[in-house]
Each structure stands twice: as C-alpha cells, then as structure tokens.
Amino acid sequence: MTVTSSFPILSTRDLPTLVEFYRRSLAAEVTFRFEDGGVDVYVSLTIAGASLGIGSDPHTPPQPDGDRVALWFYVTDVDAAYAGALDAGASDVHAPLDMPWGERVAQVRDPAGHLLNLAEPPAVA
C-alpha cells in the first residue's frame, strides 16, 4: 500500500462563507462540489496546486480552547496576504512579524475559527 495524496478537510456551519473567504483571500479555485437537495454540502478547493476540502456540518461545535489543527500557507507577500485575509473576513491573531529563523509570519482566523499561518520563506542567499 502506498499513499498517493492527502488533503485536509475543514468542517463548518456556514459553507458558502468559508468557500468565499478562501476564494477572496488566497485565490482558491473550486474544483469539485457535492450537493444535497441543490445545496453544496462539500466543496474541494485548489490553492497553489494544493487541495483543501470544506464540508458543511451544522453540528460543528464552536472553536474549542486551543487549536486541533492549523493551516500553513507560504505566500510571496505576507503583508498583502494578511491584509487580504482581513479584508475577506478573517480575524487578526497577530500581524506580520520577522521571526528569528528568517521567515516573516502572520496569523489570522478564518470565519469558522480555523487558524491560518501566512508566511514568507526566508530569502535564499
């Protein structure tokens, strides 16, 4: 047995809002939709070649204390990505900061409360 691919799936009570957030903030493209009764219940997105699934679950509990999962996105301009995420409906966790290991990193929460790390990799000398 060999694993050929994998991807995270986020759960949310408000699928349209979360899909639109990722479309607006990270230029995600919808690559698959599954409907039930004419309403999306699952959407697959592609972001820079990576897949992210989002499933509708009206029973998703509110974000617990502490994160069980966080997403990490490398971007070309962390400051612009941070501003775009806030404009698209994210809430601020921390503004872009230069880290001791050479990356510039910001954190936001998507409209469903999932933690997103936005980072620029260190410059290669």
Q: Beta-carbon neighbour count of residue 120 at 10 Å?
A: 20
Residue 69: predicted pLDDT: 79
Question: In whole angstroms, how far apart are CA 25 and each of 9, 21, 29, 90?
Answer: 18, 6, 11, 9
Name the residue ranges covered by the structural domains of the chain: 9-57+67-120
Q: Residue type for 87, please? A: D
- Tokens for 79, please give them: 């400051």
pLDDT tens, residue by residue, 29-78: 999 999 999 999 999 999 999 999 999 887 766 666 666 778 999 999 99
- Assign domain 9-57+67-120 to its CATH architecture: Roll (3.10)
pTM over 0.85: no
* Amino acid of residue 20: E
The predicted pLDDT at position 63 comes to 62
pLDDT digits (tens, 9 = 90+) for 75-124: 999 999 999 999 999 999 999 999 988 899 999 999 988 999 999 988 76
SS (H, E, C) the chain: CCCCCCCCEEEECCHHHHHHHHHHHHCCEEEEEEEECCEEEEEEEEECCEEEEEEECCCCCCCCCCCCCEEEEECCCHHHHHHHHHHCCCEEEEEEEECCCCCEEEEEECCCCCEEEEEECCCCC
